[in-house]
Amino acid sequence: MMSITQISLTVFLLFAVSRVFLRFRGGSLSLLGFVFWTILFNSAIIAVLFPVLTSQVAVILGIGRGADAILYTSVVILFYLVFRLYVYIKDIRLEITELVSKLALKRPKKHDRKTSKH
């Protein structure tokens, strides 16, 4: 029987996976990026659905107990927000550069006469 935390986290993570897929389909995410983020979010889904696995991993890593639900949630949400923010900032930066470049290419027409013809 799944707890409410498990259900809401799974739904959220599935939403994250869908966003990754849509970004990949839209061409703003590379294949490698798509694979990386898909593996990351799907691993999180597995960890949420089978918490025993995380306890086993925790034992292997010498932590001794699985991380609690609040910590899980925070990390997953932060990861997703960082991903969104990163893509968003990158898009804006590229758009600014494109704009600056286009303006530069438009403005110099009057200087064309000065083009050095050696």
Partner 1 sequence: MRLLIGIPAYNEEITIGKVVTSIPKKIKGITRIDTVVVDDGSSDHTYQKASKVGATVLQHLINRGLGGALKTIFAYARECNCDVLVTLDADGQHDSGDIPKVIAPIFYSHADVVIGTRWLTKSTAPLARKIINKLANVVTYVFFGVGTSDSQSGFRAFSKRAIGNLKLNADGMEVSSEVFKEIKRNQLRYKEVTIIPVYTQYSQAKGQRISNSINVFFQLLLRLLQ
Q: Which residue has the tokens 């990390």?
A: 75
37 binds partner 1 (CB under 8 A): yes
Nearest to 34 by CA among 46, 19, 13, 49: 19
Rounded CA-CA distance 63/55 in Å is 9
Taking the mean position of all CA atoms in its chain, how far away is CA 59? 29
Q: Which of 15, 39, 90, 95 binds partner 1 (CB under 8 A)?
A: 90
Compare residues 56 and 101 and give the one whose CB is closer to partner 1. Answer: 101
94 binds partner 1 (CB under 8 A): yes
Q: Compute the least distance from the CB of residue 18 to partner 1, in Å.
A: 18
**Any idea how long the chain is?**
118
- Write out the residues near partner 1 by the rule CB under 8 A: 28-30, 32-33, 36-37, 86-87, 90, 93-94, 96-98, 100-101, 103-105, 107-108, 111-112, 114-118
